[in-house]
Copies of this chain bind each other. A is one copy, B any other.
Amino acid sequence: MLVKLDELDRAIIGALVDDARATYAEIGGQVGLSAPAVKRRVDRLVQQGAITGFTARVEPSALGWTTEAYVELFCRGKTSPAEIGLAVSRHPEVVSACTVTGEADALLHIRATDVRHVEQVIERIAAEPFVTRTKSAIVLTRLIT
Contact = CB atoms under 8 A, between A and B. Distances in A.
A82 to B, nearest CB: 8
Interface string A87-118: 01100001111111110101100000000000
Interface in A112-145: 135-145
Nearest to A66: B2
A145 B96 contact: yes
A41 to B, nearest CB: 13
A16 interface: yes
A63 B59 CA distance: 27
A52 B61 CA distance: 11
A1 B62 contact: yes
Contacts of A19: 53-55
Contacts of A98: 68, 139-144
Contact of A85 (B21, B99, B102, B144): B144
A13 interface: yes
A107 B139 CA distance: 9
A104 to B, nearest CB: 7
Contacts of A63: 2-3, 5, 50
Contact of A137 (B1, B16, B101): B101
Interface of A: 1-3, 5, 13, 16-21, 48-59, 62-64, 68, 70, 81, 84-85, 88-89, 94-102, 104, 106-107, 135-145
